[in-house]
Amino acid sequence: MKKLVVTGGSGFIGSNLVKFLLNKKYFVINIDKLTYSASSYSLNKLENSQNYRFYKHDINNKNQIYKILNKYKPDGIFNLAAETHVDRSIDDPKNFINSNILGVYNLLQVLKKYLRKNKKKIKLIHISTDEVYGDIPFGKRSDEKSSYNPSSPYSASKASADHLVKSFVRTYKLPVIISNCCNNYGPNQFPEKLIPKLIFNILNNMPLPIYGAGKNSREWIHVKDHCEALLRIFIKGKIGESYNVGSNQNISNLMIAKRLLKISKYKFFINNKKTKIKFVKDRPGHDFRYALNSKKILKKLSWKAKIPLDQGLSQTFNWYINNKVFFKSISKKLYINRLGLKI
């Protein structure tokens, strides 16, 4: 049985990846420092699993991370440990520097030390974002050779980490692969992000806050499709390469809100008259459009997203309806942002 480490395995993408890998019969070691957005809700049932171990550690703790690698001698590491919310990075960038840059640096240092003393092959899959490419004009898509042009402290911290990874691959020959994914959605996502925030507000008969005129465009992928891509990259990906992971499903924030309202009304028979779209002042440096060219991963690794957006949104809405305990479990951690909106 192959052993895989998932850093940040109690977060949104991480928790979905942990369960996905366990279903694929891997032994999974989850390392997470359990910040505000971490949720043990979906992983509680795994505590007694013979193929799952959890360690509460920060990836900046080099000694502890090295001990875990030395103990289990894993075949691979998926690095999902990161601060991710753009609004929070604008309010206070420090945590993003510590986790997304220094944390990655320390993880690379640990990997370098581990490889000096162990001959077993290992791969590190570093999960990044499409936001490193910055604002993309209509009619164009970022490929793996596109220049980085980050706009927010969050995207700048992820871009910095990507550059660190690439330099360690070239200088120290570390076995690392980078994935740059578009916006994820699906079950167990902390409701400061757009889709779970809108679902939370619909279920609680609250206004739906949309920045600016709501025309900002994002490419959306269901987290299950993303997990499939990450495993494919681990199995077939080439060391030192980057792979864009996208769905080619772009839609404006306003249309996301309208589709969720339609789903709530016609599929789940929720008809809250007070739940209206509310346009709010745009956030600083708000990129208008992200869009990925994912032809490389299709051509080289034979992967493409399978879940249509409307189907995925309905499934996601249904998950939150059936898991209202999730909202209750994190209700004390809901973020009050600079606009005074509870999300």
Catalytic residues: 130-131, 154
Structural tokens at position 336: 């009050």
Pure H helices in the chain: 12-23, 62-72, 86-91, 94-96, 103-117, 153-172, 194-203, 223-236, 253-266, 295-301, 309-322, 324-329
Please report, in angstroms and rounded to a whole number, the separation of the first and last CA atoms in the chain: 41
Contacts of 313 by beta carbon, 8 Å cutoff, 6+ apart: 185, 195, 256, 259, 260, 263
Structural tokens at position 14: 């991480």
SS3 46: helix
Contacts of 71 by beta carbon, 8 Å cutoff, 6+ apart: none
Nearest by Cα to 65 from 90, 96, 31, 97: 31
